[in-house]
Amino acid sequence: MDRATFFSATAGRTIEAPSRIRTRFAIGDVVRHRAFDFRGVIFDIDPVFANSDEWYQSIPEEIRPDRNQPFYHLLAESDESDYVAYVSQQNLIRDSLAGPVSHPDVHQYFGDFENGRYRMRTCLTH
């Protein structure tokens, strides 16, 4: 399998990943965490885990996800707060509510909400 590398500022190092990876979700999709009560909109995707080792080790071992899967950056919301979340593919499901997300930063990244997903602002796409 072909491999590629990319620099992760969050991890502070270069990450090696397969050059082709299948993602279950796309930027603009509204998703829900499988185990915890929050939902959010995807604004970035890492092909494999690309956060710090300290962050990864802070997850209890019995629920720690495999590093070799896509990880998604979410503008997340719960009943208590809005925040940015970093979640493995195995822990996400499509949001059955399919309604817009109320996170205050949504409009920095996205324009219209149509058919259960957001459209990325044109000025942010390449």
Q: Note the pLDDT tens digit of each residue in 47-106.
A: 999 999 999 999 999 999 999 999 999 999 999 999 999 999 999 999 987 789 999 999
What are the DSSP calls for 28-89, one per residue? TBEEEESSSS-EEEEEEEESS--S-HHHHHTS-GGGPPPSSS-EEEEEEE-SS-EEEEEEEG
**pLDDT computed for residue 121 by the predictor:** 87
User: Domain 3-124 is classified in which CATH homologous superfamily?
Assistant: Hemimethylated DNA-binding domain (2.30.30.390)
